[in-house]
Amino acid sequence: MRSTRSLVNFKPKKNGVRVDESTITRILKSKNKRLGTEIANPEAKRHKSVLVPELELALKEFVLNYQHKTILSDSVLTEKAKQLADELNVPQGTLQFSSGWLQKFKDRNNIRQVKLQGEADSADIDAIAEALPLIRK
């Protein structure tokens, strides 16, 4: 492995930008922490670790199991998160189950809520595509 001094001297030659030795040392010290964290959303600018990963995983599994069976509103998800936090013995006050927390949970796990349309949603798209040219004539 290269020494920090050789890395400091290597970078300006390659990119034209000087990196301070303390920056390289700090990054190398936190290498295990950075490599050990699982990145939920690689496209995100900042990767903030989750406070209670067990709760996050349990709530995600709940959503995946029930999203096709029933409507999961924000209040249902928040109540389930509180229930799971109690089951996992998460200390009170560790998490604020606010709407912001819920929105970030849904963003991290790519959970979207779509409005159900009733009759409009049950229309036969193929039949419409076939009948449209006939209607235009």
Count of alpha carbons within 13 Å of 37, Cβ hemisphere only?
14
Q: Are 101 and 87 in contact (CB under 8 A)?
A: no
pLDDT digits (tens, 9 = 90+) for 68-86: 888 888 999 999 999 999 9
Please identify every stretch of the chain with a pLDDT value under 70, giving residue numbers as ranges. Answer: 1-2, 4-5, 7-16, 36-42, 44, 47-48, 114-123, 135, 137
51 closest CA partner among 78, 82, 90: 90
pTM of the model: 0.55
